[in-house]
Amino acid sequence: MIEVAEIGTKAAAVTFIGVGAGAPILPPPPEFKADHPFMFVLRDKVNGVNLFMGRVADPPRDHQ
């Protein structure tokens, strides 16, 4: 389970992945507006394994 709030994020399991100084610069992520209920999956594409699954049942509707 992952809990995301304005004060931070909590997960049931934690894994650290370090990135060295030679890491590529990534483009900015696409804009994602969570203004309605949705489900999400964090998936390891290499091994085909779902790492986390969750849902946002009642997202705040007052954000722009």
The domain ranges of the chain are 35-64
Q: Is the pLDDT of residue 27 over 80?
A: yes
Q: Higher pLDDT residue, 23 or 47?
A: 47
- Give pLDDT, residue 4: 66
Which residue pairs, CB below 8 angstroms and at least 24 apart, start in 34-39?
Answer: 34/59, 35/59, 35/61, 35/63
- Give pLDDT, residue 36: 87
Torsional sign, CA 54, 58, 11, 42: positive
Q: Is the pLDDT of residue 25 over 70?
A: yes
Over range 32-61, report the average pLDDT: 89
